[in-house]
A = this chain, B = another copy of it.
Amino acid sequence: MALAGKTKQDIVSEFRRAEILAVARTVFAAKGFNDATVDEIAQAAGIAKGTVYSYYTSKREIYLAALLEGHADLRARTRVAMEEASGIHAKLHAFIKLRLQYAEDNRDFIRIYHAEFGNLTNGAASDGQVQEVYLEQARYLESVLRDAIAAGEIRATHPEPLAFLIYDMVRSVLTQRTLGWSKNTMEDDLNLLSNLIWNGVAPR
């Protein structure tokens, strides 16, 4: 029973936690951390506030769970997508494509993610845990870029800032799409981004 060291209670409990998280993401996405209230989350989940506090110990804990759990999923999918692709050009293309698609499918999460990682100097990001997660993410892309530079697949530049830049370029496009400022199809935005990163703006 080592595999299932979980009682029936544990399983139910885990399910409730997940339910609350899903609802919380919607509320936090719509209002931001400060303007969302725990009462609101409870109501949206159809339970009483006290019940929320028997699954999470604080508002912040709920928020961090919503952020970090979603992030872990995105991170895992990102790695798979990049490892499946071969060659740096394809890897970068896969990276962008996955994230554009993920944002389409997980709008609430992506709002929280951008609110947090878009503003690392305030908010939950002052939390060391969150900054660490952010850095870890960048370091993975950085290592991929470093390999590509070593293999002569791309021009030699500093891979660290480049990794951050690529994240932020994707974020930029996602923000535009989220706000309805992009008239392009996802495909168009994907190609635009991929192409810009690869070729820049210089005339051919």
Chain A residues engaging chain B, CB cutoff 8 angstroms = 31-32, 34-35, 111, 114-115, 118-123, 135, 152-155, 157-158, 160-162, 164-165, 167-169, 171-173, 175-176, 178-179, 181-184, 188-189, 192-193, 195-204
Least distance between A128 CB and chain B CB atoms (Å): 12
Cβ contacts under 8 Å, A155 to chain B = 199, 201-204
Tell me the complex Cα distance, A176–B160, Å.
10
Q: How many copies does the complex hold?
A: 2
Partner pick for A34 among B34, B161, B173, B196, CB 8 A cutoff: B34
- Are A121's CB and B179's CB within 8 A? yes
Tell me the complex Cα distance, A184–B161, Å.
9
Least distance between A70 CB and chain B CB atoms (Å): 16
Q: Could you name 25 residue pairs across A and B whose Cβ atoms are closer than 8 Å?
A: A32-B122, A35-B122, A111-B122, A114-B119, A115-B119, A115-B122, A120-B175, A120-B179, A154-B201, A154-B202, A155-B202, A155-B203, A157-B192, A158-B184, A158-B192, A161-B182, A161-B189, A162-B201, A164-B172, A165-B169, A165-B172, A165-B193, A165-B196, A198-B202, A199-B199
